[in-house]
């Protein structure tokens, strides 16, 4: 289901109006500089979604708007996961990714793994893949380090947000190329790898990776 820009802004305003001013500024800034809406076509109509590292729940909330039946939003930062619920069909779990069981039609990892040491990437991606139902899709939204101009601007912005708001866990800034991400996902047992640039009109080198469980 298509979600318009204006509709998304309205939904996010109502969903997060009770959060702190710093949190609202972070949520709005993320939405304005990140093409969330360009990833929603991967949300299965009536499907179950697992959002790992869900943050405040922006993608989780928009996934409901796009037609998901339910979203389990996993977030270890208690400042975010224990805040008021954003929607009755979004269930927050204050934990790390290994706390969740069951199968899902879509597992999303949205701007998360770059904050994690590289040594932990494969175990996380393997656990995420294991949560997919047959034919389910793993979606990873990250930045493309090979687009050097946009990538440099992103690093500067990340450090600025960390300094003044401190709303994101983790201190790493690890990025890999499309070929490296593809190798990791194939190693995790997934197929039909695709990489799509979704950064047109944005200052950052946004790219979405998808792969399917056979």
Dump pLDDT digits (tens) for 140-189.
999 998 876 666 656 666 665 555 555 454 456 788 999 999 999 999 99
Per the prediction, the chain carries an average pLDDT of 90
Q: In the predicted model, what is the mean pLDDT of residues 50-63?
A: 96
Domain count, the chain: 1
Per-residue pLDDT, 79:
82
Residue with more model confidence, 146 or 99: 99
> Mean pLDDT lowest for which of 12-26, 78-92, 145-159, 194-208?
145-159
Per-residue pLDDT, 170:
47
Q: Is the pLDDT of residue 83 over 90?
A: no
Alpha carbon 186 to chain centroid distance?
Answer: 20
Range of the domain at 21: 5-212
- pLDDT band at residue 82 under the 50/70/90 scheme: confident
> Mean pLDDT lowest for which of 70-84, 94-108, 158-172?
158-172
- Residues in CB range of 139: below 8 A, 6 or more apart: 39, 42, 106, 107, 108, 109, 110, 208, 209, 210
Contact yes or no for 125/185 (Cβ under 8 A): yes
Contact yes or no for 52/75 (Cβ under 8 A): no
Contact yes or no for 153/56 (Cβ under 8 A): no
Report the alpha-carbon distance of residue 12 to residue 3 in Å, rounded. Answer: 12
Q: Judging by beta carbons within 10 Å of its beta carbon (0-12, 13-18, 19+), is residue 166 exposed, middle or buried?
A: exposed
Per-residue pLDDT, 162:
53
Q: What is the CATH number of the domain that holds 161?
A: 3.40.50.150
Q: In the predicted model, what is the mean pLDDT of residues 9-22?
A: 92
């Amino acid at each position: 289901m298509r979600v318009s820009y204006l509709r998304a802004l309205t939904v996010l305003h109502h969903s997060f109006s009770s959060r702190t001013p710093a949190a609202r500024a972070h949520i709005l800034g993320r939405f304005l500089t990140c093409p969330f809406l360009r990833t929603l076509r991967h949300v299965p109509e009536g499907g179950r979604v697992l959002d790992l590292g869900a943050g405040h729940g922006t993608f989780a909330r928009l996934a409901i708007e796009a037609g998901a039946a339910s979203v389990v939003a996993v977030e270890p930062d208690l400042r975010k996961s224990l805040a008021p619920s954003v929607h009755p069909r979004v269930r927050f779990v204050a934990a790390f990714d290994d706390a969740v069981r069951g199968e899902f039609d879509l597992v999303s990892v949205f701007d998360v793994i770059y904050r994690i040491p590289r040594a932990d990437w494969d175990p996380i991606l393997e656990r995420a893949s294991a949560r997919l139902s047959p034919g389910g899709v793993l979606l990873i939204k990250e930045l493309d380090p090979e687009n050097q101009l946009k990538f440099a601007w992103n690093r500067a912005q990340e450090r600025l947000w960390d300094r003044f708001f401190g709303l994101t866990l983790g201190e790493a800034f690890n990025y890999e190329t499309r070929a490296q991400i593809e190798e990791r996902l194939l190693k995790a047992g997934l197929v039909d790898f695709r990489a799509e640039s979704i950064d047109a009109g944005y200052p950052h080198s946004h790219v979405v990776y998808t792969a399917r469980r056979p």
